Structure 1
Amino acid sequence: MTSAPRRAPKAGIHPDPSKTWLRRAWPIVRAHRALLITSLVLSFIGLIVQVQIPDLVRIGIDEALVDRTDGLMKYVWLIAALAVVQGVINFLARLYLLRTAYEMEYDLRNLVFAHMMRMSYAFYDRVQSGELISRATSDIRAVQMYLAFGPSILVQCTIAGIAFALMVSINAPLAVVAMLTMPVIAVLGIRMRKAIFPVSWLIQSRLAGVATVVDENIQGVRIVKSFAAERRQLNTLAKAADGVRWAYTTDSRIRSRWLPVMDNLPRLGLAMVLLIGGLMVLEGNATVGTIVAFNSYVLMLQPPFRMLGMIIMMGQRAAASAQRIYDILDTPADIVDPATPVVPEPRGDVRFEGVRFAYPDGTLALDGLDLHIRPGETVALVGATGSGKSTVARLVARFYDPEAGSVLVDGADVRDYPLETLRDRVGIVPDEPFLFSVSLHDNIAFGRPSATREQVVAAARAAGADGFITDLPRGYDTVVGERGYTLSGGQRQRVAIARALLVNPPVLVLDDATSAIDVRVEHGIHEALRDLMRDRTTIVVAHRLATIGLADRVVLIENGQAVADGTHASLLESEPRYRRVLASTHQEVVA
């Protein structure tokens, strides 16, 4: 599977959780400061140009129309030129601002995704996938919007100060009248901010709940349909959506209470300018051009204060989203590379010494397991459901760490291996194989992207997958549907076996990997596997007798312990617990 190399984020989040969310995000803003500052400077220059236009209108009216001391067209051309200059500057400012926004979003998204990829199985056991999807999409977008557009909006708001300075230079008393309503707007903005923050958090949380329901129902659509549960699941989604609707309605109610007042207070200032200014014109203390210019300046003040309300809401939404993102980034990965890694020669020796392990929900899986699998040996793990067989496979690859005891590969504790090295040495074929929505070639070559077509085909033949793949219209270039559901369960398992075999690991774990494969096809796969397993250490989590027949030894697992060890024939003769497990397994297969 080929892809362009990933550019590393330019900066990360500050690790100190005691800092405010903005201070923690500051390294990302600082990493893109060149683009952001360029955009803000251009935006500010554009504002300077913009506020000159009403002043030119004032001078043009007073000198060209009222006093008739100057030509009108000179001011027309000057105003037109300033408008063109402002348009070009605003275009460049917007371009650089959008580039900054998308660069920040890229960094945030990669930081979150990279951290999620470092997290262990235990993290995903307790966190819902829909929640993670929401935090990696809508929450990141909310933070990005504020980090990039917040400073720009603040710069836009400086037009109020620039306009006020020009109004003071033209007519100070009238400038004070025009700005009388602005302190009231500031107080209202602060009160609205306090009211919106908890609702913003609630909105993001409930959106994540909806994402979870949608994600689970898309992934489990076959189960939903098989039980005709569409209506019930629609009701579940409707309940989650009602929660979002209530939160959005509450948010809208708060905004509708405050924003109309904040939007219309500048218009009250306009009315006061017209009243007071008109009286001043009648008394000879102001000109008609001044009233027209002030009218433009007061109208110019409305968008900044409207944007002030917007930035308050954006800030509350971003603060809530940032905390949800930080919840992920602040969760430490518990399965990490060691400080001083050990990389012994690969032989395929696997040993469990007094291993005890319980899952995050408290389920005890292994309780003092002792097991030694020698290099090149094939061992079948047999036991009742829940006895701990699959857990053995997960601990060998260090998907989890044991609570007590040690798991050794080639004499070194798996916790002392670099993770990438360990998982190159331990290949696992799970009982529920996952395929990506790419070609079958890329699925098989997932662990070894540089593999040639000949190598991919050889692995597929060994896994018994070449026959059905070549029968497909596009053969190995056929793109499977999401999760590989366009293939049968047995076909997916064969592709997963081929994927593991292509990596050619010294230790191969087959976690009931042929359970969905037809018995006749399974026999052919076993014949191929016998050759491939000859010089490879293989752990087979087995239920079928045919799979057990691949093994040199059989280990009976019960209550998280190895309670019997020997050949299939010897255990069948001497161990009643082994016979009971085989009998119950046979009944399940027949059923």
Structure 2
Amino acid sequence: MSRRAPRASIDPDASKSWLRRALPLVKAHRALLITSLTLSFAGLIVQVQIPNLVRVGIDDAVVDRTGELSTYVWWIVGLALAQGFINYLARLYLLRTAYEMEYDLRNIVYAHLVRMPFGFYDRVQTGELMSRSGSDIRAVQMYLSFGPSILVQCLIAVVAFGLMLSINVPLAIVAMVTMPIIGVLGVSMRKAIFPVSWLIQARLAQLATVVDENIQGVRIVKAFAAEGRQLRSLAESADRIRWAYRQDARIRSRWNPLLDNLPRLGLALVLLVGGLMVIDGHTTVGTIVAFNSYILMLQPPFRMLGMMIMMGQRASASARRIYEILDTPSDVVDKPDPIAVPLGGDLAFEDVVFSYPNGTLALDGLNLHVRPGETIAVVGGTGSGKSTLGRLAARFYDVTSGRVTIDGHDVRDLSLASLREQVGIVPDEPFLFSLSIHDNIAYGKPHASREDVVAAAVAAGADAFIRNLPEGYDTVVGERGYTLSGGQRQRVAIARALLVNPPILVLDDATSAIDVTVEQMIHSSLRDKMRGRTTVIVAHRLSTISLAERVVLMENGRVIADGTHESLLASEPRYAEVLAAQVTA
């Protein structure tokens, strides 16, 4: 089933309040929401008629005995059934509205996240993003959908007050005398609870980060017997959340009893004043019963009003955290009229200077030209900038200065989708999804046939071990592919890149976890696959370097030597030192 695009987006004007920025999302679903609110209001109209009917029934059939009691009973039963059916429909449409809004909001956030460059993820914690994409979105959705419904529920106070005025004006005023006080208390509670709501959401995100890192890094935790230390770290985060929740509980315990019980004070006043009026003959017993019912009817809306205030503060804090993500622009974006053309593979780095977001200088005036169809090996010590070449070629980052070109086109002029379809990268630590082997290999080409997938696996030296798995190509790998060995994951990743068949292929130490015997088998297949393809191999092993026609030696972000393996070994002592270091590593 195809994904439905969000019907609206968040207003990009950061100067507006969080609620005004979210209004386009509400307006996009106004038909469902208005239907729900209309039905809800109709249910309230029916509900407030019941106490009035009770009043008439008591005064007419019980006190004056001029009417049939059964008639009023059946009317009350009929109204109750009608109210139940109307409320069912109102709730149904309200929940549909809530889920539609949540769907759109999640897609808006996720679509923005996938547009963000690598630099964004270098500085933002995964747990923080998970929290903002989960609990924060749910908090905003709850307020946008249920908030209007609660307001409509609170309209019962207006309708009930109108009916009470039509029955007995003095008694109606007595019944509502506590309501202005409730309004003032609600505003005070709102101001008190907002900072705590923000703190709770922030600390929940910190806890999510700790949990995420412990799950993702469980093998390292166990390898160093650090379970106790990690549990203490988790307990510390949980303690900080507990402290914030305690503050929230103190605020609620201070304000909620007042908001809940003030309407009951109105009930006592009605009983006192109304009772005296009955004694004096200025009203009836049925009126007292009806007014008691109306006041009891007012308690849930005002209790919900307090809940709405707390929901609003939490939603406000959550929305601001979501907007922090949405307001962060991507610095790697398509130009207004990007180029989308087939690439031949002429790759060049011209005076390229590049620093990572944390300030680490990776390339410093790099000049390198790889001709179409040429295979080069890039060699160098740790931190020399080797892996950065592929990341810039695929434009995962933009250069600080200089430019990267393919076929003479600056990569910043090419459309990102077209560029990344034609520059394939196999990292040294490949990521596999919790899918079948077939789906992992076909990830870049989802509609590939089984024959094409098998051919790519054969070329990557993966077919033999895949066929020995319990379900062959249909075997589902564990999270991140950890049910496979490191070498097996690398072979699946190579197959994934080969299936797409890009004109430019970057192998970033892609066979480092594969034993030499298997690597030699893969190399024989890769020689055929690399023929006519521009290939950049970040290499450490001599066997891998042998795949290349030319070797480039890097140091401190620059090319310091360039030639064949034999010529560099004979003329460049630093090349021999790097190879020796790799052998002893």
TM-score, normalisation: structure 1 = 0.99
- Note if 1:162 corresponds to 2:159: yes
Match of 1:556 in 2: 553
Aligned to 1:16: 13
- CA drift of 1:337 comes to 1.2
What letter is aligned with 1:215? D
Once the two structures are superposed, the pairs formed by residues 179-258 of structure 1 within 5 Å of their partners are: 179-258=176-255
Alignment of 1:189-338 (within 5 A): 189-338=186-335
1-structure distance, mates of 2:259, 2:445: 60
Aligned partners of 1:21 and 1:319 also within 8 Å: yes
Note if contact 1:371-1:562 (Cα within 8 Å) is conserved in structure 2: yes
Query: Which of the numbers 572, 582, 586 marks the counterpart of 2:583?
Result: 586
Q: Please, which runs of 5 or more residues in structure 1 have no aligned partner?
A: none
Query: Contact conserved, 2:32 with 2:96, CA < 8 A, in 1?
Result: yes
Please, which of 339, 348, 353 is the counterpart of residue 356 of structure 1?
353
- Residue number in structure 2 paired with 1:422: 419
Matched residue of 2:110: which SS? helix
Residues 161-200 of structure 1, C-alpha deviation per residue, up to 9 Å, x if partnerless?
A: 1101100110100001101111111111110000000000
One of 363, 368, 380 as aligned partner of 1:366? 363
Q: Does residue 4 of structure 2 align to residue 7 of structure 1?
A: yes
Q: Give the secondary structure class of the aligned counterpart of 1:398.
A: coil
In the alignment, structure 1 residue 528 sits paired with structure 2 residue 525: yes
Displacement of 1:343: 3.4
**Counterpart of 2:92?**
95
The whole-number CA distance in structure 1 between the counterparts of 2:519 and 2:417 is: 31
Q: How does 1:99-178 map to 2 (within 5 A)?
A: 99-178=96-175
Counterpart Cα distance in 2 of 1:65 and 1:97: 41
What corresponds to 1:503 in structure 2? 500
Provide the rounded CA distance (Å) in 2 between the counterparts of 1:179 and 1:23. 32
Q: Distance in 1 between matches of 2:234 and 2:137?
A: 24
1:537 alignment partner in structure 2: 534
Distance 2:342 2:136 in 1: 46
Residues 465-504 of structure 1: CA distance to partner in whole angstroms, max 9, x if unpaired?
Answer: 0000000110000000000000000000000000000000
Residue 470 of structure 2 aligns with an amino acid whose one-letter code is: P
Give, in angstroms, the shift of residue 156 of structure 1.
Answer: 0.1
Counterpart in the other structure of 1:403: 400
Matches of 1:70 and 1:216, distance apart in 2: 73
Offset of residue 345 of structure 1: 4.0
Paired amino acid for 1:529: L
Name the count of aligned residue pairs.
Answer: 585
State the one-letter code of the partner of 1:365. A
3-state secondary structure, aligned to 1:405: strand
Q: What secondary structure does 1:52 align onto?
A: helix
* Aligned equivalents of 1:344, 1:11: Cα separation in 2: 32
Does 1:438 find its partner at 2:438? no
Report Cα offsets for 1:103-125 as digits up to 9, x if no partner: 00000000000000000000000
- Aligned-pair RMSD on alpha carbons? 0.5
Q: Distance in 1 between matches of 2:81 and 2:163?
A: 22
In the alignment, which of 83, 86, 90 is matched to residue 86 of structure 1?
Answer: 83
Task: Provide the residue aligned with 1:44 in structure 2.
Answer: 41
Shift of 1:344: 4.2
Is residue 498 of structure 2 the alignment partner of residue 464 of structure 1? no
Equivalent-residue separation in structure 2 for 1:341 and 1:185 (angstroms): 59
Q: Residue deviations 1:534-578, cap 9 Å, x none? A: 111100000000000000000000000001000000000000110
Match for 1:410: what amino acid? D
Q: Is the CA contact 1:344–1:412 (under 8 Å) kept in the aligned structure 2?
A: no
Tell me the alpha carbon deviations over residues 16-63 of structure 1, each in whole angstroms, 9 at most, x when there is no partner. Answer: 000000000000000000000000000000000000000000000000
* Deviation of 1:342 (Å): 2.2
Q: Percent identity?
A: 74
Q: Is the 8 A contact 1:345 1:410 kept in 2?
A: no
Q: Residues 34-73 of structure 1: matches in 2 within 5 Å?
A: 34-73=31-70
| Counterpart among 359, 365, 377 of residue 374 in structure 2 | 377
> What is the letter of the counterpart of residue 22 of structure 1?
L
Counterpart amino acid of 1:341? Answer: P
Distance 1:218 1:30 in 2: 40
Q: Would you say the 8 A contact 2:61–2:69 is kept in 1? A: yes
3-state SS, counterpart of residue 562 of structure 1: strand
What amino acid is aligned across from residue 432 of structure 1 in structure 2? E
2:383 to 379, 386, 396: 386
- Whole-angstrom CA distance in 2 between matches of 1:140 and 1:340: 34
Q: Deviations over 1:122-153 (max 9, x none)?
A: 00000000000000000000000000000000
The 1-side partners of 2:148 and 2:25 are apart by: 14
Match of 1:26 in 2: 23
Q: Which amino acid in the other structure matches residue 305 of structure 1?
A: F
Letter in 2 for 1:115: H
CA deviation vs aligned residue, 1:235-268 (integer Å, no higher than 9, x gap) = 0011011111110110010000000011011111
Secondary structure of 1:495's partner? helix
Residue 345 to residue 79, structure 1, CA distance change in 2 (3 Å):
closer
Residue of structure 2 equivalent to 1:74: 71
CA contact (8 A) 2:341 2:418 kept: no
The match for 1:480 is: 477
- Which amino acid letter does the alignment assign opposite residue 271 of structure 1? A
| Counterpart Cα distance in 2 of 1:302 and 1:15 | 39
Matched AA of 1:577: R
Aligned-pair CA distance for 1:410: 1.3
Deviations 1:490-536 (A, max 9, x none): 00000000000000000000000000001100000001001111111
Q: Secondary structure at the match of 1:75?
A: helix
Amino acid at match of 1:384: G
Alignment pair present for 1:512 and 2:509: yes
Q: What is the rounded CA distance, in whole Å, between the counterparts of 1:462 and 1:347 in structure 2?
A: 22
Q: Deviations over 1:55-101 (max 9, x none)?
A: 00000000001001110011000000000100000000000000000
Q: Distance in 2 between matches of 1:587 and 1:5?
A: 52
Provide TM-score, normalisation by structure 2: 1.00
